[in-house]
Amino acid sequence: MTGPAYFITGTDTEIGKTTLSSVIIRALVAKGFRTAAMKPVAAGAVMVDGVLHNEDVDALVSAANVSLPTGLVCPYLLRTPASPNLSASQDGRTIDIPHIVDCYRKIRQKAEAVIVEGVGGFLVPFSRNTSSADLAEQLGLPVIMVVGLKLGCISHALLTAEAIRARGLTLAGWIANRVDPDMAFSEGNIETLENWLDAPRLGTMPHLKTFKRAGQYLDLDILPGWHK
Ligand SMILES: Nc1ncnc2c1ncn2[C@@H]1O[C@H](COP(=O)(O)OP(=O)(O)OP(=O)(O)O)[C@@H](O)[C@H]1O
Ligand SMILES: [Mg+2]
CA of 9 to the centre of ligand 1 (A): 13
pLDDT score of 1 more than 90 = no
- Residues 157, 158, 160, CA angle at the centre, nearest 5°? 65
What is the model's pLDDT at position 227? 85
Residue 20 domain-assigned (yes or no): no
Query: Which active-site residues does the annotation give?
Result: 39
Could you report how far apart the first and last alpha carbons of the chain are, in Å? 9
Q: Is the CB of 177 under 6 A from ligand 1?
A: yes
Average pLDDT over residues 30-57: 96
Helix axes 97-110, 132-139, angle to 10 degrees: 40
Which ligand minimizes its atom distance to the CA of 217? 1
CA of 23 to the centre of ligand 1 (A): 12
Q: Is the CB of 148 under 6 A from ligand 1?
A: no
The closest residue, in CA terms, to atom 16 on ligand 1 is 16
Largest separation between any pair of C-alpha atoms in the chain: 50
Do 212 and 153 sit in the same domain of this protein?
Answer: yes
Cα→Cα distances 97→103, 129, 169, Å: 10, 12, 17
Do 52 and 131 sit in the same domain of this protein?
Answer: yes
Q: What is the DSSP letter of 218?
A: B
With a pLDDT cut of 70, the percent of the chain lying above it is: 100
The mean of the pLDDT values for the chain is 97
Do 127 and 157 sit in the same domain of this protein?
Answer: no
Q: Domain count for the chain, please give it.
A: 2
The closest residue, in CA terms, to atom 15 on ligand 1 is 16
pLDDT tens digits, residue range 99-154? 999 999 999 999 999 999 999 999 999 999 999 999 999 999 999 999 999 999 99
pLDDT tens digits, residue range 14-39? 999 999 999 999 999 999 999 999 99
Domain at 79, CATH number? 3.40.50.300
Do 158 and 109 sit in the same domain of this protein?
Answer: no
- Residues 112, 30, 200, CA angle at the centre, nearest 5°? 80
Residue 193 domain-assigned (yes or no): yes
Give the domain range for residue 132. 33-113+122-139
Residue 3 domain-assigned (yes or no): no
Do 131 and 194 sit in the same domain of this protein?
Answer: no
